[in-house]
Structure 1
Amino acid sequence: MNHHQLEKDIEHLEHVISHISAEDRIPLSYWRNRIDSVSGAALVPAQASRVKRLNAALLALEQRKKA
């Protein structure tokens, strides 16, 4: 994945994850797969930190859904 596409994907995920809920029409598993695909790319430290925050935010949503 090229640097510009990776950056666009992270920005999109940051926007979406901050606006969805556990009951959203798109399942959380879809967003988990998207984050996992970005996580597998070669990330610079700042991007890795952002993806880590995305993971934490999505994990919180996943845990709320299980409760």
Structure 2
Amino acid sequence: MNHTHLVEWELSHLERLVSHMSAAAQFPPAYWDVRIAALTRLAVVASHFARIERLKKKLPPVEFHAMVA
């Protein structure tokens, strides 16, 4: 699997997970920060950067995690 395909696979996986917000909310904010930061470092295609930004906007805010805990 080449670099671009790896980023594409990881983005697709995270997009599916985030589409089920209740599942996404179960993970602490640090988990999302690490995953998104890793993807941002690996991304080289403009469309990947755009998808990463959309993912960031879909994630529950840090305050939501504090209310759930």
Common topology (TM > 0.5): yes
TM-score of the pair, normalised by structure 1:
0.74
The reply on whether 1:63 has 2:63 as its aligned counterpart is yes
TM-score, normalised on structure 2? 0.72
* Counterpart mapping for 1:37-52 below 5 A: 37-52=38-53
Which residue number in structure 2 is paired with residue 27 of structure 1? 28
Largest Rg, 1 or 2? 2
Task: Compare the two structures and name the one with the higher helix fraction.
Answer: 2
- What number of residue pairs does the alignment pair up? 64
State the alpha-carbon separation in 1 of the partners of residues 29 and 9 from structure 2: 20
Q: Which runs of 4+ in 1 moved over 4 A?
A: none
How many angstroms apart in 1 are the aligned matches of 2:63 and 2:57? Answer: 10
Instruction: Supply the distance in 2 between the matched residues of 1:42 and 1:36 (Cα, whole angstroms).
Output: 10
Provide structure 2 residue ranges, at least 5 long, that are not aligned to the other structure: none
Structure 1 unaligned spans of 5+: none
